[in-house]
Amino acid sequence: MKVSVFCANKDISKIQVGQGAILSIDGASEEINGVVTSVSHVADCKTRNYEVEVKISNHDLKVADGITVNGKIAVGITGGFFIPSSCIVLSDDGAPGIKIIVDKNRVKFVPIKIVSTQNDGAWVSGPDMGDLKLITIGHEYVVDGAEVAAVPE
């Protein structure tokens, strides 16, 4: 079965025929693996998104014609981690970041890049995201450099 998904212009150059794709049906927990078979080089005039065709196996007829699916296509390896969206804060100049605990229980704002979002959180990356102590509760009340008493969840 052929499935059409749409991709933003910032990622279309990273998608190639033969790449793997993962599709999910709204409301269902099961994911369906597929392969990119076609990448449009002309954007939709209304949405400015590009159509990407994905071939999936549908022998069991779990995917009905016309049903809405969400597609994910890996467009590069990015190190990162998943955090609750509520942990993301903005710096004074509007840059997204997180607050972590560093040496001597001091708060530090760390800028991040939001890689992707989901209903329950966000995949983020940033400089040297090794082992860190993320402030998940009360981060909006502390400032960079403040001393805190960390309580593990």
Return the CATH number at 23.
2.40.30.170
In three-state secondary structure terms, 35 is strand
37 in the same domain as 95: no
Find the mean pLDDT for residues 102-120. Answer: 87
Higher pLDDT, 81 or 98: 98
DSSP string, 107-148: EEEEE-EEEEEETTEEEEE-TT-SS-EE--SSGGG--TT-B-
Rounded (10°) CA dihedral 10, 11, 12, 17: 170
Q: How many domains does the chain have?
A: 2
The pLDDT of residue 55: 93
115 in the same domain as 63: no
Please state, in angstroms and rounded to a whole number, the distance separating the CA atoms of residues 96 and 12. 25
CA 151 to chain centre: 28
87 in the same domain as 48: no
| Domain end among 23, 39, 72 | 72
Kindly state whether residue 21 falls inside one of the protein's structural domains.
yes
Please state, in angstroms and rounded to a whole number, the distance separating the CA atoms of residues 33 and 11. 20
The pLDDT of residue 89: 94
39 in the same domain as 22: yes
Residue 53 domain boundaries: 2-72
What pLDDT band is residue 129 in, cutting at 50, 70 and 90?
low
How many helices (H) and strands (E) the chain has is answered by: 0, 12
28 in the same domain as 46: yes
What are the pLDDT digits (tens) for 7-58? 988 888 889 898 888 888 877 777 888 899 999 999 999 999 999 999 988 8
